[in-house]
Structure 1
Amino acid sequence: MISSHPRRRRTLLASAVLAVATLFAGVAPAVQAAPEARSDVFIRDNGSDYGYEASSGSLYSSPDIRVCFSATVLCATDDPIVQGSTAYIHVTLNRPGPYGDGYEKGNLQVWYTKQGTVAQWPNQWNYIGSKLDVDVPYGTKTVVIPWKVPIGSHFCLLARWLSPTDLPTEGVSTSLNTRNNNNIAWHNVNAVPFKIKVPVIRPIVFGWHGPDPATVGDIVFTQPGRPFTGPGRITIDLGPDLAARWRAGGAKGEGIERVGETELAIVNPQRARISGLAFKAGEQIDAKLSFTAGAEAAGGQYTVHVTQVDQRGEEVGGVEYRLAAERQ
């Protein structure tokens, strides 16, 4: 594992003001002049990310990381992976970023962990592989790293770009590392093929990965675009531990309905929230999601976001589920 060192980043006040102004105008900020020796390659956190730190918007579904069946063809969306098979992780690198336009080779690393909203860095992440001495021209370059998929079929991915003048500053919180470093990106996207009236189960992990010893937070469900709730049904089985914590916190929430001792149904497709969950630092608590499509869901494609927020309402992490009818 390559050790991390703090990197020095300084931008002129005029550049920062221009960046903010252009972002609010809805256009990409112009790349500012920087010393030629300083390189700045970045991986986007979301479609509106131009490499500025700290980034804003979604953290956990980077469009520059994609998992495909093919090593040579970039898939339009993630292909469903199968344990024991070889998948190919395509990572798109962007140059230049806003902090330097110098040319420099670097190394790309990819890591994985269990599918969920949290994982402490680095002890809860597993190394997949690297590409060394990668040169990135002006524009973009896609690097492919093969992955022998381990037991299980639902994982989170983390990509890290490392070069002599472009190293991340990292702590234990994956979400803070991702937001504060433009050469770290997180990809928690799960392709969910469904059959009509057949439940599809997906494991998910909740917990706390920050430096504080404990926190209280919420689990939030949103369904941008056409909602799956209605044409289909979503439930979450919290399991005995998390369900007991939820009851101890007053069984608070909105847009949910209790349907079992540990199970809740999502009844509001716009927004549902399970509130008041207490976590200790380093915890990872298993739960299960169930997606069941009704007949009216046939032919549709749906997106469901499951996000964990802390007691300040700040995003800790999440998973994006993309549901579509199973290929025949």
Structure 2
Amino acid sequence: MISRNPRRRRTLLASAVLAVATLFAGVAPAVQAAPEARSDVFIRDNPSDVGFEPSSGSLYSSPDIRVCKGLTPCATDQPVHQGENVYIHVTLNNPGPYGDGLEKGTLQVYYTKQGTVAQWSSQWTYIGSKTGVSVPYGTKTVAIPWTVPVGSHFCLLARWLSPTDLPTEGLSTSANARNNNNIGWHNVNVLPFKIKIPEYRPIVFGWDGPDPTAVGDIVFTQPGRPFTGPGRITIDLGPDLAARWRAGGAKGEGVERVGETELAIVNPQRARISGLAFKSGEQVDARLSFTAGAEAAGGQYTVLVTQVDQRGEEVGGVEYRLAAEKQ
């Protein structure tokens, strides 16, 4: 991959250039020695990801990582509870664009508390791994058992390691996921709701990069049918984050102040809380609430809470999938 294996890319690129040059010169290319077989197993960052580095699009909702109640893979994440024994299913894809070899490797899975950022590796907790995994051409799904910890909701990280396919990593989880196709990040919270009963979810914001401080925004988007309208979303920034917001000028759009530290999301297309400053490695607690009105019954909704930096680039986020609780 770009920074971790330049030799592989140079070999493949040189072979392609030679083939094209000899073709246009009207000369049959000589038979070349096959390059050293290398693996390039990858985990998608989003549905359109085909393994190129750096990836483009969303980073934090990998479709190749799912939480299921059993060993049988589930189509989407299933709601789980603290103390429950579940399985994390990770789909591995082979080959990616930088390899063509079959290789055995190790799959590792980690968790951290629900939020938009977490520094690698100090703010991630190891769950488990599976070694000696052989990935055939195509896909292979591997299940790793997990007892859901007591304390909060969680984000997941999967890493694929093999002798010829190792990631290059720094402090920033978002940069690691963007630049390494064998790292997948899955911040998905399945949220069953009851009509007129608030559902609360903790969330942390901060900065996972090496720079001493960073300023950014929290952006709310609701693709598809919006929850705001048939339902209500608020965020309690807490005294610390609220003080930082006021110090930055209390800037924002699509939000309405409804308490000393609480804001309501009033624009379902786009709402933004701007000008928040964080120190490197910081994680500041906040709390979201989702309250469904009668009109929300029977609907399914997606709410994305994304943190962006001053350049508007995605730092991380959480995807909330809301549906009426089954009776």
Superposition TM-score, scaled by structure 2 size: 0.91
Moved beyond 6 Å, runs of 4+: 13-16
State the distance in 1 between where 2:108 and 2:276 align.
33
Deviation of residue 13 (structure 1)?
A: 8.4
2:295 paired residue number: 296
> What is the SS of the residue equivalent to 1:60?
coil
**Do residues 60 (structure 1) and 68 (structure 2) align?**
no
2:24 paired residue number: none
Percent identity between the aligned chains?
82
Deviation of residue 55 (structure 1)?
A: 0.1
**Do residues 98 (structure 1) and 78 (structure 2) align?**
no
> Which letter maps to 2:281?
G
C-alpha RMSD of matched pairs (Å):
1.5
Superposed, 1:264-279 pairs within 5 Å as 264-279=263-278
Deviation of residue 74 (structure 1)?
A: 1.4
Q: Do 1:7 and 1:168's aligned partners in 2 also have CA atoms closer than 8 Å?
A: no
> What is the SS of the residue equivalent to 1:179?
helix
State the distance in 2 between where 1:13 and 1:283 align.
44
Q: Do 2:113 and 2:152's aligned partners in 1 also have CA atoms closer than 8 Å?
A: no
Q: Assess, with a 3 A threshold, how the Cα gap between structure 1 residues 327 and 208 changes in structure 2: closer, same or farther.
A: same
> What is the SS of the residue equivalent to 2:284?
strand
> What is the SS of the residue equivalent to 2:88?
strand
Deviation of residue 81 (structure 1)?
A: 1.4
> What is the SS of the residue equivalent to 1:10?
helix
2:151 paired residue number: 152
> Which letter maps to 1:37?
A
The count of corresponding residues between Structure 1 and Structure 2 is 306
- 1:127-172 CA-to-partner distances (Å, cap 9, x unmatched) read 0000000000000000000001111341000000000000000000
State the distance in 2 between where 1:155 and 1:307 align.
16
Deviation of residue 77 (structure 1)?
A: 1.3
Deviation of residue 37 (structure 1)?
A: 1.7
Q: Do 1:82 and 1:153's aligned partners in 2 also have CA atoms closer than 8 Å?
A: no
> Which letter maps to 1:288?
R
State the distance in 1 between where 2:122 and 2:324 align.
37
State the distance in 2 between where 1:295 and 1:101 align.
54
1:161 paired residue number: 160
2:27 paired residue number: none
Superposed, 1:26-105 pairs within 5 Å as 35-71=35-71, 73-105=72-104
Superposition TM-score, scaled by structure 1 size: 0.91
Deviation of residue 75 (structure 1)?
A: 1.4
> Which letter maps to 1:121?
W
Deviation of residue 6 (structure 1)?
A: 4.0
Listed as ranges, the gaps of 5+ residues in structure 1 are: 17-33
Listed as ranges, the gaps of 5+ residues in structure 2 are: 18-33
> Which letter maps to 2:129?
S
Q: Do 2:152 and 2:202's aligned partners in 1 also have CA atoms closer than 8 Å?
A: no
Q: Assess, with a 3 A threshold, how the Cα gap between structure 1 residues 274 and 202 changes in structure 2: closer, same or farther.
A: same
- 1:194-247 CA-to-partner distances (Å, cap 9, x unmatched) read 000000000001000001010000000000000000000000000000000000
Superposed, 1:247-326 pairs within 5 Å as 247-326=246-325
Q: Assess, with a 3 A threshold, how the Cα gap between structure 1 residues 263 and 15 changes in structure 2: closer, same or farther.
A: farther
Q: Out of 163-172 and 78-87, give the one that drifted further.
A: 78-87
Deviation of residue 35 (structure 1)?
A: 3.2
State the distance in 1 between where 2:277 and 2:177 align.
23
Q: Assess, with a 3 A threshold, how the Cα gap between structure 1 residues 257 and 15 changes in structure 2: closer, same or farther.
A: farther
State the distance in 1 between where 2:50 and 2:14 align.
18
Q: Do 1:35 and 1:101's aligned partners in 2 also have CA atoms closer than 8 Å?
A: no
2:110 paired residue number: 111
State the distance in 2 between where 1:239 and 1:149 align.
26
State the distance in 1 between where 2:55 and 2:241 align.
31
